[in-house]
Chains A and B, each alone.
Chain A
Amino acid sequence: MRRKLKILSVNEQIFLIAIWWLKDEAYGVRIRDKIKEITGRTFTFGTLYNTLDYLAKKDYVTSRAVQILNQAGGNKRVYYTITKAGFEALRQARELQEALWKDIKKYAF
């Protein structure tokens, strides 16, 4: 018997991967930019934080708030880091993808 895989939504995968790419730089604006870079889509901050809060609630990411001084715009940033559970979920998502596409040749479509 295969064990059951955790299923992440595509949005969540994109967010997690974006955060992973950004490493220490992963705060709201950057995450939004990165996602645009990967997918070409611009998210509103409403959607962005909805998803981020959801990931935080599931313990896939942790956040820490940092005060920024002398900076144009806001003076606070919340940086996100992927947790162990988050990595595990990503890994499983990948496994799921591979299991899904297994034995399907590229020219099938």
Chain B
Amino acid sequence: MKPSKNPSPPRLAVWLVKRLDRYQINHAMIDDMHEVFLRIWREQGYIFACFWYWGQCLDAVIKDTLFNSKWRVIMIKNYLKIAFRNLTRQKGYSFINITGLAIGMACAIFILLWVQDELSYDGFHKNKDNIFRVAALFENEGNEVYGTQTSAPVAPFLKNNYPEIQESTTVNFGWLTGNSRNIIKFGEKSFYTNDLILTDPSFFDIFSFPFLKGDKNTALENPNSVILTLSTAEKCFGSEDPINKTIQVDGNPVIVTGVVADVPHNSYLQFDVLLPLTSVRNTNRGFFLTKWDSYGFGTYVTLQDGVAINELDRKIENVIRNNDSNFGDTAAYIFLQPLSKIRLFNVDGSVGFMRYVYIFSTIAVIILLIACFNYMNLSTARSDKRAKEIGLRKVVGSKRANIIWQFFSESLLYAFISFLISILIVILFLPLFNELTGKQIAFDYANPGLLFGFVFVALLTGIIAGSYPALYLSSFIPIEILNKSKSPGTKKSPLRKVLVVFQFALSIGLIISMTVVSGQVKYMRNAEIGFEKDNAITLPISGKIENIFESFKNELKQNPGIVSVSLKSTRPLSPGGTSGTISWEGKNPEQQINWCHPMVDHDYFKTLNMKIVEGRDFSREIQSDLQEGFILNEEAVRQGNIEDPVGKQITVNGENGIIIGVVKNAQLSSLRFTIQPVVYHLSQTFREEFQTLFIKMGSGENDRQFDNIAASLAHIERVWKKFMPDAPFEYQFLDESLGNQYRTEIRISRILNTFTVLAIFLSCLGLLGLTSFMAEQRTKEIGVRKVLGASVTGIVILLSKEFAKWVLLANVIAWPLAYYFMSQWIQEFSYRINLGIGTFIASAVIAFIIALLTVSFLTIKAALANPIESLRYE
């Protein structure tokens, strides 16, 4: 038999065996295996031989790994033992490290929870990826204005005419009932609903709000039916079965036909009472259900499988324009917006609240990085203490990889301990965090994604924190270390300075952001708003008070603390629904206008102390004001381009009248938005339209102000109970409700403040550790200097100088970055503060002072030390 005819064993197996440590030691193994392989091939054939060879090979691999891993485990045990010894030997540094990492990780976990909660919005719907909101786009003189609502006929029309649409539903957020707040009454109990919505039966085909009682298909069919959420039902009926019981909603008897589970907090749609849209069909607002140009209805659809949204958008965009015969050319285009984007994105598709998700994620990373930098700095600064150990390990044969492993296992140990502490912190402070953010986040241990996220954070922290020490310390050359002529840790390491500078740059950036955000919030809360918001309360009022209103008002005014009482046809802070057609003398017929058109009574401007800048206020003496008087705000005059407005003819929704005055602009909505043009009109015939009662109270003498307000409120309550026994007395101070409009901004600002303070704290912690190390390093130098006559101040300055340099350098990095991001953020607001250089300088000074204070603690201690002590050292 010729050797060339012999087959060779499987190459992959040979390659594998050659990789083994065993093979490195004893080369004969592979040759022996080859020999037996050939023997088996001769006796039992090639395939069997190959199997045999593979079996041998795998067995060898297993034996080899088992043999090696035994040693690895022993080494890791040793690494951890050394790490523990270091941890306990240098308690100060370990404390700084672990506190820093724990706080950093806790912050990251908090933010992770927050982000997770934000992203979880509307995730509970079964067909969440297939639900779309129909949004509107108005074009007005080249401006594009987006709206989130369309009109009521859109939903049925879409479903009937487009086979791509699977289901469609219309949702009205309560204004259709004609009341700004809705009262539920059952027996003796009566209370306001929080969110009443009106909708149609297909609502439950689209959204997954689980039914606890009743049949979801028939529950909304009867116009006199109502669906309650569980907690509302319990509020009414306690533990009784609510089905088929009759309750009163705004005085109308309705039958409870269903109970759904409470709406989760992370749902975009919030409601506690559901009425059928058909319930208003026979009222004087029933015509809204067929009106194509009344943009006050949310429309939601689900699509058939595999429908391309872009194509469908193009098909449906003109639905309203084609059907709305009155406003064909000015009517809205419609398009689809995915449900998943409603919460975090603006309706035009731009980044909305998602911005904050990005910002906070960035802050989490920044804080974690600062904590990691602390660890890196401290462990490399202390490297001379470890240098001998490393040198010795190398001399007795440890490879560089071993040292790297050692330091990684050390940093992972620190990260693990910190992780446990951070979990504790999170559990302890979660209620506080919830209060800060206005959320109800629960620590969900069972959520595997979240747990994975946490462990990932911990691992990442350990790896980032350990990377530099591991790579840096393992690079020491043993002969240099053991020679002891110099210790390698003290040699200038630029990276350490870079890290400190970077850390402070991040902190300064956060300080600047914090100042800008809270400045903007403060500005918005104190801005010139064009009316007086103090000492005024608002009460929701249902329309049917026409007969009693005058006597109600008179009785209220009997108390000298009540200055003025007024009514308005909208919710307290809403400028009013948009009007239909408006025209006036000299109007450019091409101009499209979209003005707000609230009804008020004679005392409205007096009550809110709004200044009439031209013409006059509504007057009771002049009878014609009731029908013909119109008052515009300055913005309407500006937008309408009306010259000399007082006395001009005006027609609003078919009613002819005269402009009798111009009132100063009032900023009712958030300063995020611009002021809208408004035309005010008195209402006699439409008294039922009134929704809000304004009561202005006198402040009296300043020191007795509180008593006066309290007495006035008590009086109002008495009168209210007398005239409106059915309606709960739930008032809101006007300034409070104005403040509530900035809730998001205030929360964001508070979160930012908290995390900024933490970031600064962490940076200082790192600085503290580094200073103490430096002071220790220079003990001898300080001693010598003192002996030669240096003053304490001189030494403090000497030691602080370096840190001061770093902090100044950090500003150079922080300013442009902070400027860029903050000017982006502030663009969102129509009315905003300027990003002055003052903010930046102030932030720099703050950072500088904090850094110096931190450092001074240790430098002064070092400078005051007795030189004898330091020179005797060693």
Q: Which residues of A approach B to under 8 Å, CB–CB?
A: 27-29, 32, 44-47, 49-50, 52-53, 63, 65, 70-78
Residues of chain A within 8 A (CB-CB) of B38 are: 72-73
A28 to B23, CA, bound (A): 13
- The answer to whether A74 and B59 touch across the interface, beta carbons within 8 angstroms, is no
Residues of chain A within 8 A (CB-CB) of B59 are: 44-47
Q: Which one of A27, A73, A78 has the greatest number of beta carbons of chain B within 10 Å?
A: A73
- The answer to whether A78 and B1 touch across the interface, beta carbons within 8 angstroms, is no
- The answer to whether A77 and B3 touch across the interface, beta carbons within 8 angstroms, is no
Residues of chain B within 8 A (CB-CB) of A49 are: 22, 26, 29, 60
Residues of chain A within 8 A (CB-CB) of B55 are: 44
Check if B396 is an interface residue, CB within 8 A of chain A: no
A29 to B38, CA, bound (A): 12
Check if B32 is an interface residue, CB within 8 A of chain A: yes
- A50-B67 in contact given A73-B34, A73-B38 (Cβ < 8 Å): yes
A53 to B30, CA, bound (A): 15
- The answer to whether A46 and B60 touch across the interface, beta carbons within 8 angstroms, is yes
- The answer to whether A44 and B31 touch across the interface, beta carbons within 8 angstroms, is no
A29 to B6, CA, bound (A): 18
Q: In the assembled complex, how far is the CB of residue A79 from the closest CB belonging to chain B, in whole angstroms?
A: 9
- The answer to whether B22 and A72 touch across the interface, beta carbons within 8 angstroms, is no
- A53-B60 in contact given A73-B35, A76-B31 (Cβ < 8 Å): no
Contact flags B58-85 to A (C-beta < 8 A → 1, else 0) = 0111111001000000000000000000
Determine the residue in chain B with the shortest Cβ distance to A56.
B26
- A46-B25 in contact given A72-B1, A74-B30, A76-B31 (Cβ < 8 Å): no
Q: Which of A53, A71, A76 contacts B27 (CB 8 A)?
A: A76
- A28-B67 in contact given A46-B22, A72-B3, A73-B35 (Cβ < 8 Å): no
Q: In the assembled complex, how far is the CB of residue A16 from the closest CB belonging to chain B, in whole angstroms?
A: 18
A63 to B29, CA, bound (A): 13
- A29-B35 in contact given A45-B56, A49-B29, A65-B27 (Cβ < 8 Å): yes
Q: In the assembled complex, how far is the CB of residue B524 from the closest CB belonging to chain A, in whole angstroms?
A: 75
Check if B464 is an interface residue, CB within 8 A of chain A: no
- The answer to whether A53 and B25 touch across the interface, beta carbons within 8 angstroms, is yes
Check if B37 is an interface residue, CB within 8 A of chain A: yes
Residues of chain B within 8 A (CB-CB) of A52 are: 26
Residues of chain A within 8 A (CB-CB) of B26 are: 49, 52-53, 63, 78
Sampled A-B contacts (25; CB under 8 Å): A29-B32, A29-B35, A32-B32, A44-B55, A44-B59, A46-B59, A46-B61, A46-B62, A49-B60, A50-B22, A50-B63, A53-B26, A65-B27, A65-B28, A72-B35, A72-B38, A73-B6, A73-B34, A74-B31, A74-B33, A74-B35, A75-B31, A76-B31, A77-B32, A78-B28
Q: Which one of B1, B30, B61 has the greatest number of beta carbons of chain A within 10 Å?
A: B30
- The answer to whether A28 and B56 touch across the interface, beta carbons within 8 angstroms, is no
Check if B36 is an interface residue, CB within 8 A of chain A: yes
Residues of chain B within 8 A (CB-CB) of A47 are: 59, 63
Residues of chain A within 8 A (CB-CB) of B33 are: 45, 74
Q: Would you list the 10 A-B pairs with minimal beta carbon distance, nearest first?
A: A74-B31, A28-B32, A46-B60, A73-B35, A78-B28, A46-B63, A73-B34, A74-B34, A44-B59, A46-B59
A47 to B30, CA, bound (A): 14
Q: In the assembled complex, how far is the CB of residue A80 from the closest CB belonging to chain B, in whole angstroms?
A: 10
Q: A28-B28, A77-B31 are in contact. List 8 more A-B contacts (CB 8 A).
A: A44-B56, A45-B33, A53-B22, A65-B27, A65-B28, A72-B38, A73-B38, A74-B33
- The answer to whether A46 and B36 touch across the interface, beta carbons within 8 angstroms, is no
Those of B624-677 within 8 Å (CB) of chain A:
none
- Give chain B's interface residue range (CB within 8 Å of chain A): 20 to 34
Determine the residue in chain A with the shortest Cβ distance to B31.
A74
Contact flags B266-284 to A (C-beta < 8 A → 1, else 0) = 0000000000000000000
A74 to B64, CA, bound (A): 21
A29 to B56, CA, bound (A): 13
Residues of chain A within 8 A (CB-CB) of B67 are: 50
Q: In the assembled complex, how far is the CB of residue B287 from the closest CB belonging to chain A, in whole angstroms?
A: 89
Q: In the assembled complex, how far is the CB of residue B687 from the closest CB belonging to chain A, in whole angstroms?
A: 97
- The answer to whether A32 and B36 touch across the interface, beta carbons within 8 angstroms, is yes
Residues of chain B within 8 A (CB-CB) of A74 are: 28, 30-35
Determine the residue in chain A with the shortest Cβ distance to B60.
A46
Q: Which one of B29, B37, B61 has the greatest number of beta carbons of chain A within 10 Å?
A: B29
Residues of chain B within 8 A (CB-CB) of A29 are: 32, 35-36
Q: In the assembled complex, how far is the CB of residue A78 from the closest CB belonging to chain B, in whole angstroms?
A: 4
A53 to B20, CA, bound (A): 14
A10 to B32, CA, bound (A): 24
Q: Which of B3, B6, B27, B60 contacts A45 (CB 8 A)?
A: B60
Q: Which of B6, B28, B37 contacts A27 (CB 8 A)?
A: B28
- The answer to whether A27 and B63 touch across the interface, beta carbons within 8 angstroms, is no
Residues of chain B within 8 A (CB-CB) of A27 are: 28, 32
A73 to B5, CA, bound (A): 11
Residues of chain A within 8 A (CB-CB) of B30 are: 74
Determine the residue in chain A with the shortest Cβ distance to B25.
A53
Determine the residue in chain B with the shortest Cβ distance to A79.
B28
Q: In the assembled complex, how far is the CB of residue B732 from the closest CB belonging to chain A, in whole angstroms?
A: 81
Q: In the assembled complex, how far is the CB of residue B866 from the closest CB belonging to chain A, in whole angstroms?
A: 59
- The answer to whether A44 and B1 touch across the interface, beta carbons within 8 angstroms, is no
Q: In the assembled complex, how far is the CB of residue B64 from the closest CB belonging to chain A, in whole angstroms?
A: 7
Residues of chain B within 8 A (CB-CB) of A65 are: 27-28
- The answer to whether A72 and B27 touch across the interface, beta carbons within 8 angstroms, is no
Q: In the assembled complex, how far is the CB of residue B445 from the closest CB belonging to chain A, in whole angstroms?
A: 44
Q: In the assembled complex, how far is the CB of residue B608 from the closest CB belonging to chain A, in whole angstroms?
A: 91
Residues of chain B within 8 A (CB-CB) of A73 are: 6, 31, 34-38
Q: In the assembled complex, how far is the CB of residue B327 from the closest CB belonging to chain A, in whole angstroms?
A: 86
Q: Which of B6, B29, B61, B64 contacts A72 (CB 8 A)?
A: B6
A28 to B22, CA, bound (A): 14
Residues of chain B within 8 A (CB-CB) of A32 are: 32, 36
Residues of chain B within 8 A (CB-CB) of A44 are: 55-56, 59-60, 63
Residues of chain A within 8 A (CB-CB) of B1 are: 72
Q: In the assembled complex, how far is the CB of residue A45 from the closest CB belonging to chain B, in whole angstroms?
A: 5
A30 to B758, CA, bound (A): 72
Those of B812-869 within 8 Å (CB) of chain A:
none
Q: Which of B3, B6, B37, B64 contacts A46 (CB 8 A)?
A: B64
A45 to B63, CA, bound (A): 10
A17 to B32, CA, bound (A): 20
A90 to B845, CA, bound (A): 83
Q: Which one of B27, B28, B67 has the greatest number of beta carbons of chain A within 10 Å?
A: B28
Contact flags B33-47 to A (C-beta < 8 A → 1, else 0) = 111111000000000
